[in-house]
Amino acid sequence: MPEIKKIGVIGAGQMGSGIAHVCAQSGYDVIVSDISEEVLQKSLANIAKNLDRQVQKGKLSEEEKAATLSRISTGTDLSVFGDADLVIEAATENENLKRDIFKKLVPNLKPEALVATNTSSISITRLAASTDRPAKFMGMHFMNPVPVMQLVELIRGIATDEETFEAVRELTARIGKTAAVAEDFPAFIVNRILLPMINEAVYTLYEGVGGVEAIDTALKLGANHPMGPLELADFIGLDTCLAVMQVLYEGLADSKYRPCPLLVKYVEAGWVGRKVGRGFYDYSKNPPVPTR
């Protein structure tokens, strides 16, 4: 089985930062890349803040925090992945963008390096086909926030070999996560179920069945969900939610998955949720205020 010691992460947003955090905390050397130095610095600051939170809760010592941070390095060029044993892609949920990243990435890799994608919905088989190593490629779908959430969905493409699958399954266990294996269908298991519920919550808002607060309160207190669906949509990122619905709609060719026009409008306005300070709630206020 290929041995994984050094892990590369492409994309230093919410997910890439969380993946780098848990891998480094579990003792792996991690190298993270994104399109700008500014994004990388913000990511490192976020990781440090989240580690501080673990220290305050007594789950981590100051020494472990310092050691975790010392294992993370960054760079804006894909050449930094030359000695990575596994590269996990966690860039924006857009198939063309991801394919382009993989095409540019593979000439920089060792021949035996494995590649995984954290895509929420896109075909693993199609993404694998944009690399020179479909047998060494698979889906590794973390949940947000990565340091807190227990699950990683593992998805084989049609060509993924058993060695690759077992190496990634072993890594998942070593970083303290639990794997659920899904087949390569649009949005896999979690988002096949979760995103249509969120989309339906946006329809409920769009049709005036309830306001933002009523919808979230209804699901929290009426269905015992820890977060309301609109709050959760803001947390995931409305751009990601829309991208997943589009993949479901096109991939399964069923009108029941059509994205709600209000979701489309929020994304077009740039109101993509918590990461930009505005979505179904306005996060510039404390506590956040519903926008409808």
Chain residues that interact with ligand NAD, rule: CB under 6 A: 10-16, 33-35, 39, 90-93, 97, 101, 118-120, 141-144, 236-237, 240, 275
Q: In what order do the strands lie in the sheet with 29-33?
A: 72-75, 29-33, 6-10, 86-89, 114-117, 137-142, 151-156, 178-182
Q: How far apart are CA 37 and CA 69, in angstroms?
A: 17
Catalytic residue among 17, 43, 191, 199: 191
Q: Residue 153 catalytic?
A: yes
Q: Residue 225 catalytic?
A: no
Q: How far apart are CA 5 and CA 24, in angstroms?
A: 10
**13 labelled binding-site residue:** yes
Pick 15 or 155: Cβ nearer ligand NAD: 15
Q: How far apart are CA 249 and CA 257, in angstroms?
A: 5
**38 labelled binding-site residue:** no
Rounded least distance, CB 49 to ligand NAD, Å? 15
Q: Residue 268 catalytic?
A: no
**245 labelled binding-site residue:** no
Pick 69 or 190: Cβ nearer ligand NAD: 190
Q: Residue 118 catalytic?
A: no
**1 labelled binding-site residue:** no
**14 labelled binding-site residue:** yes
Catalytic residue among 43, 50, 118, 141: 141
Q: How far apart are CA 155 and CA 139, in angstroms?
A: 5
Rounded least distance, CB 63 to ligand NAD, Å? 29
Catalytic residue among 120, 121, 123, 130: 120
- Residue 224 in tokens: 């015992």
Pick 18 or 134: Cβ nearer ligand NAD: 18
**Amino acid letter at 227?**
M
Pick 39 or 86: Cβ nearer ligand NAD: 39
**Do 40 and 76 contact (CB within 8 A), yes or no?**
yes
Please state the residue numbers annotated as binding site for NAD(+).
11-16, 34, 93, 98, 120, 144, 275
Please state the residue numbers annotated as binding site.
11-16, 34, 93, 98, 120, 144, 275
Active site residues: 120, 141, 153, 191
